[in-house]
Amino acid sequence: MACVLVPAAEALVTTIAAKVIEKKEKDHGEVKSTAGSSDAGHSVKIPFSKKLKWLTNMLWGGAVLLIYEHVWHGEIVPWFPFLTAASDPADTAEMLHEMSTVGVTMALLITAVWVGMLAVCSAMEKRAESEASADKEETA
Amino acid sequence: MTLLISVFAAVICTVIWYKNAPKNEMMVGVLCWLYWGSSIMWFVDAVFEYAELGAEYFTPEAADMLNDTFLGLSVVALGMVIWVVALLIKDPKGVVKKALTKKEITT
Protein backbone atom coordinates (compact mmCIF):
# COMPACT_ATOMS: atom_id res chain seq x y z
CA MET A 1 0.00 0.00 0.00
CA ALA A 2 2.66 2.48 1.03
CA CYS A 3 5.48 0.25 2.24
CA VAL A 4 7.85 2.08 -0.11
CA LEU A 5 7.63 5.22 2.05
CA VAL A 6 9.89 3.67 4.71
CA PRO A 7 12.90 3.02 2.41
CA ALA A 8 12.21 6.39 0.72
CA ALA A 9 12.44 8.12 4.11
CA GLU A 10 15.67 6.25 4.85
CA ALA A 11 16.98 7.31 1.43
CA LEU A 12 16.29 10.94 2.30
CA VAL A 13 18.15 10.63 5.61
CA THR A 14 21.15 8.86 4.03
CA THR A 15 21.30 11.44 1.21
CA ILE A 16 21.60 14.26 3.74
CA ALA A 17 24.08 12.26 5.84
CA ALA A 18 26.23 11.50 2.78
CA LYS A 19 26.33 15.20 1.84
CA VAL A 20 27.32 16.24 5.39
CA ILE A 21 30.00 13.53 5.68
CA GLU A 22 31.37 14.36 2.21
CA LYS A 23 31.70 18.02 3.21
CA LYS A 24 33.49 17.03 6.43
CA GLU A 25 35.85 14.74 4.52
CA LYS A 26 36.67 17.55 2.11
CA ASP A 27 37.31 19.93 5.00
CA HIS A 28 39.64 17.40 6.62
CA GLY A 29 41.38 16.93 3.26
CA GLU A 30 40.93 13.18 3.13
CA VAL A 31 42.35 11.60 -0.02
CA LYS A 32 39.71 10.61 -2.50
CA SER A 33 40.51 7.34 -4.15
CA THR A 34 38.76 4.52 -5.86
CA ALA A 35 39.17 0.80 -5.30
CA GLY A 36 42.02 -0.52 -7.37
CA SER A 37 43.96 2.74 -7.51
CA SER A 38 46.83 1.67 -5.34
CA ASP A 39 49.34 4.33 -6.37
CA ALA A 40 52.32 4.50 -4.08
CA GLY A 41 51.74 6.95 -1.27
CA HIS A 42 47.99 7.06 -1.78
CA SER A 43 45.41 5.48 0.47
CA VAL A 44 43.43 2.66 -1.11
CA LYS A 45 40.54 3.30 1.25
CA ILE A 46 37.26 4.46 -0.22
CA PRO A 47 35.80 7.48 1.62
CA PHE A 48 32.82 6.63 3.83
CA SER A 49 30.67 9.23 2.06
CA LYS A 50 31.13 7.27 -1.18
CA LYS A 51 30.18 4.04 0.56
CA LEU A 52 27.10 5.73 2.01
CA LYS A 53 26.16 6.81 -1.51
CA TRP A 54 25.92 3.11 -2.48
CA LEU A 55 23.18 2.71 0.12
CA THR A 56 21.53 5.94 -0.99
CA ASN A 57 21.58 4.85 -4.65
CA MET A 58 20.12 1.46 -3.84
CA LEU A 59 17.38 2.96 -1.65
CA TRP A 60 16.42 5.69 -4.15
CA GLY A 61 16.60 3.27 -7.08
CA GLY A 62 14.32 0.77 -5.41
CA ALA A 63 11.99 3.45 -4.05
CA VAL A 64 11.50 5.13 -7.45
CA LEU A 65 10.61 1.88 -9.21
CA LEU A 66 8.36 0.76 -6.35
CA ILE A 67 6.54 4.11 -6.35
CA TYR A 68 5.85 3.45 -10.04
CA GLU A 69 4.48 0.02 -9.10
CA HIS A 70 2.20 1.62 -6.51
CA VAL A 71 0.96 4.12 -9.10
CA TRP A 72 0.34 1.16 -11.47
CA HIS A 73 -1.81 -0.52 -8.82
CA GLY A 74 -3.65 2.74 -8.00
CA GLU A 75 -2.27 2.91 -4.45
CA ILE A 76 -0.54 6.23 -5.06
CA VAL A 77 -2.37 8.98 -6.94
CA PRO A 78 -1.14 12.38 -8.15
CA TRP A 79 -3.75 14.27 -6.10
CA PHE A 80 -4.29 14.84 -2.37
CA PRO A 81 -4.00 12.82 -0.10
CA PHE A 82 -1.77 10.99 -2.65
CA LEU A 83 -2.28 7.63 -0.91
CA THR A 84 -5.67 6.06 -1.68
CA ALA A 85 -5.56 4.23 1.66
CA ALA A 86 -5.33 7.55 3.51
CA SER A 87 -8.93 8.47 2.71
CA ASP A 88 -10.42 5.64 4.79
CA PRO A 89 -9.48 5.04 8.49
CA ALA A 90 -9.64 1.23 8.15
CA ASP A 91 -7.39 1.31 5.09
CA THR A 92 -5.07 3.77 6.85
CA ALA A 93 -4.59 1.33 9.74
CA GLU A 94 -3.83 -1.46 7.28
CA MET A 95 -1.41 0.82 5.43
CA LEU A 96 0.44 1.73 8.63
CA HIS A 97 0.66 -1.96 9.55
CA GLU A 98 2.12 -2.73 6.13
CA MET A 99 4.60 0.11 6.47
CA SER A 100 5.74 -1.16 9.87
CA THR A 101 6.16 -4.73 8.63
CA VAL A 102 6.95 -4.88 4.89
CA GLY A 103 8.39 -1.36 4.65
CA VAL A 104 10.70 -1.71 7.65
CA THR A 105 11.86 -5.16 6.44
CA MET A 106 12.65 -3.68 3.00
CA ALA A 107 14.74 -0.92 4.55
CA LEU A 108 16.47 -3.36 6.91
CA LEU A 109 17.30 -5.87 4.16
CA ILE A 110 18.75 -3.19 1.88
CA THR A 111 20.80 -1.87 4.80
CA ALA A 112 21.96 -5.43 5.60
CA VAL A 113 23.05 -5.93 1.97
CA TRP A 114 24.96 -2.65 2.19
CA VAL A 115 26.64 -3.74 5.44
CA GLY A 116 27.67 -6.94 3.66
CA MET A 117 29.12 -4.83 0.84
CA LEU A 118 31.05 -2.78 3.42
CA ALA A 119 32.48 -5.95 4.99
CA VAL A 120 33.66 -7.26 1.59
CA CYS A 121 35.04 -3.83 0.70
CA SER A 122 36.88 -3.55 4.02
CA ALA A 123 38.48 -6.98 3.51
CA MET A 124 39.58 -5.96 0.00
CA GLU A 125 41.00 -2.67 1.28
CA LYS A 126 42.99 -4.49 3.99
CA ARG A 127 44.35 -6.95 1.44
CA ALA A 128 45.33 -4.13 -0.94
CA GLU A 129 47.07 -2.28 1.90
CA SER A 130 49.03 -5.35 2.99
CA GLU A 131 50.01 -6.03 -0.64
CA ALA A 132 51.12 -2.41 -1.07
CA SER A 133 53.25 -2.54 2.11
CA ALA A 134 54.76 -5.88 1.02
CA ASP A 135 55.69 -4.32 -2.34
CA LYS A 136 57.30 -1.37 -0.55
CA GLU A 137 59.37 -3.72 1.64
CA GLU A 138 60.50 -5.64 -1.45
CA THR A 139 61.64 -2.51 -3.28
CA ALA A 140 63.38 -1.10 -0.16
CA MET B 1 6.92 -12.03 -12.37
CA THR B 2 7.88 -8.42 -11.69
CA LEU B 3 10.53 -9.63 -9.24
CA LEU B 4 11.83 -12.15 -11.76
CA ILE B 5 12.10 -9.54 -14.55
CA SER B 6 13.84 -7.01 -12.29
CA VAL B 7 16.31 -9.65 -11.04
CA PHE B 8 17.15 -10.62 -14.64
CA ALA B 9 17.63 -6.92 -15.49
CA ALA B 10 19.85 -6.44 -12.43
CA VAL B 11 22.02 -9.47 -13.25
CA ILE B 12 22.42 -8.47 -16.92
CA CYS B 13 23.33 -4.89 -15.98
CA THR B 14 25.82 -6.10 -13.36
CA VAL B 15 27.51 -8.37 -15.93
CA ILE B 16 27.74 -5.45 -18.40
CA TRP B 17 29.11 -3.19 -15.65
CA TYR B 18 31.70 -5.80 -14.63
CA LYS B 19 32.76 -6.38 -18.24
CA ASN B 20 33.49 -2.66 -18.72
CA ALA B 21 34.93 -1.93 -15.25
CA PRO B 22 36.78 0.14 -14.17
CA LYS B 23 35.62 2.33 -17.09
CA ASN B 24 32.18 3.72 -16.34
CA GLU B 25 31.61 5.91 -19.38
CA MET B 26 28.12 4.56 -19.97
CA MET B 27 27.14 4.82 -16.28
CA VAL B 28 25.73 1.27 -16.22
CA GLY B 29 26.17 1.42 -12.45
CA VAL B 30 23.03 3.59 -12.30
CA LEU B 31 20.99 0.74 -13.76
CA CYS B 32 22.57 -1.74 -11.33
CA TRP B 33 21.54 0.36 -8.30
CA LEU B 34 18.02 0.85 -9.68
CA TYR B 35 17.35 -2.81 -10.47
CA TRP B 36 19.10 -4.31 -7.43
CA GLY B 37 17.34 -1.88 -5.09
CA SER B 38 13.93 -2.70 -6.53
CA SER B 39 14.70 -6.43 -6.69
CA ILE B 40 15.52 -6.53 -2.96
CA MET B 41 12.34 -4.61 -2.15
CA TRP B 42 10.17 -6.85 -4.31
CA PHE B 43 11.84 -9.89 -2.78
CA VAL B 44 10.66 -8.74 0.66
CA ASP B 45 7.20 -8.15 -0.80
CA ALA B 46 7.25 -11.68 -2.26
CA VAL B 47 8.31 -13.23 1.06
CA PHE B 48 5.41 -11.54 2.89
CA GLU B 49 3.01 -12.58 0.15
CA TYR B 50 4.29 -16.17 0.33
CA ALA B 51 3.82 -16.16 4.11
CA GLU B 52 0.20 -15.12 3.54
CA LEU B 53 -0.71 -17.30 0.55
CA GLY B 54 1.60 -20.28 0.91
CA ALA B 55 2.20 -22.45 -2.17
CA GLU B 56 -0.63 -20.62 -3.95
CA TYR B 57 1.83 -17.78 -4.46
CA PHE B 58 3.62 -19.85 -7.13
CA THR B 59 0.48 -20.55 -9.15
CA PRO B 60 -0.91 -17.14 -10.09
CA GLU B 61 -3.86 -16.59 -12.38
CA ALA B 62 -2.96 -16.04 -16.04
CA ALA B 63 -4.41 -12.52 -16.00
CA ASP B 64 -2.37 -11.59 -12.90
CA MET B 65 0.76 -13.01 -14.47
CA LEU B 66 0.20 -11.02 -17.65
CA ASN B 67 -0.37 -7.85 -15.65
CA ASP B 68 2.78 -8.48 -13.60
CA THR B 69 4.77 -9.11 -16.80
CA PHE B 70 3.59 -5.79 -18.24
CA LEU B 71 4.50 -4.11 -14.97
CA GLY B 72 7.95 -5.74 -14.90
CA LEU B 73 8.68 -4.70 -18.47
CA SER B 74 7.51 -1.14 -17.90
CA VAL B 75 9.62 -0.97 -14.72
CA VAL B 76 12.66 -2.01 -16.79
CA ALA B 77 11.72 0.64 -19.39
CA LEU B 78 11.37 3.31 -16.68
CA GLY B 79 14.77 2.35 -15.26
CA MET B 80 16.30 2.70 -18.71
CA VAL B 81 14.69 6.11 -19.23
CA ILE B 82 16.10 7.29 -15.86
CA TRP B 83 19.52 5.95 -16.90
CA VAL B 84 19.46 7.69 -20.32
CA VAL B 85 18.43 11.00 -18.73
CA ALA B 86 21.22 10.67 -16.12
CA LEU B 87 23.69 9.78 -18.88
CA LEU B 88 22.78 12.80 -20.99
CA ILE B 89 22.88 15.16 -18.01
CA LYS B 90 26.23 13.90 -16.63
CA ASP B 91 27.59 13.43 -20.16
CA PRO B 92 30.76 11.54 -19.10
CA LYS B 93 32.07 11.29 -22.68
CA GLY B 94 31.36 14.97 -23.39
CA VAL B 95 29.29 14.06 -26.46
CA VAL B 96 26.34 16.34 -25.67
CA LYS B 97 28.65 19.23 -24.80
CA LYS B 98 30.60 18.72 -28.02
CA ALA B 99 27.41 18.56 -30.09
CA LEU B 100 26.05 21.73 -28.53
CA THR B 101 29.27 23.72 -28.93
CA LYS B 102 29.59 22.53 -32.54
CA LYS B 103 26.09 23.82 -33.22
CA GLU B 104 26.97 27.17 -31.68
CA ILE B 105 29.96 27.58 -33.98
CA THR B 106 28.03 26.74 -37.17
CA THR B 107 25.16 29.14 -36.41
- Is the N-terminal amide bond of B60 cis, ω within 30° of 0? no
In this structure, how many other beta carbons lie within 10 angstroms of the beta carbon of residue A100?
12
Q: Which residue range(s) make up the domain with A52?
A: 5-139
Domain boundaries, chain B: 10-106
Furthest-apart CA atoms within chain A: distance in Å: 74
Cβ–Cβ contact A79 with B under 8 A: no
How many Cβ contacts (< 8 angstroms) between chains A and B?
73
Residue A72 forms contact with B (CB below 8 Å):
yes
Instruction: Say what the ipTM of the complex is.
Output: 0.87
- In this predicted structure, the answer to whether residue A63 has a pLDDT above a threshold of 80 is yes
A81-135 pLDDT, tens digit per residue, is 888 888 888 889 999 999 999 999 999 999 999 999 999 999 998 888 888 888 8
- Collect all residues with Cβ–Cβ distance below 8 Å to A45 and sequence separation of at least 6: A33, A125, A129
Query: Taking a C-beta distance cutoff of 8 angstroms, is the pair A98, A3 a contact?
Result: yes
Give yes or no for A100 touching B (CB within 8 A): no
Using a CB-CB cut-off of 8 Å, the residues of chain B touching A106 are: 40-41, 44-45
B23-52 pLDDT tens trace: 888 999 999 999 999 999 999 999 999 999
CA-closest candidate to residue A11, choices B61, B51, B34: B34
Overall number of domains in chain A = 1
pLDDT at position A39: 47
Inter-axis angle of helices A48-72 and A5-27, to 10 degrees? Answer: 160
Under DSSP, is residue B91 helix (H, G, I), strand (E, B) or coil? coil
Could you tell me if residue A40 is left (phi over 0), alpha (psi between -120 and 50 degrees) or otherwise beta?
A: beta
State the pLDDT at residue A132. Answer: 83
Residue B105's identity, in one-letter code, is: I
CA atoms within 13 A on the CB side of A90: 0
Q: For residue A58, which of B16, B27, B41 has the smallest C-alpha distance?
A: B41
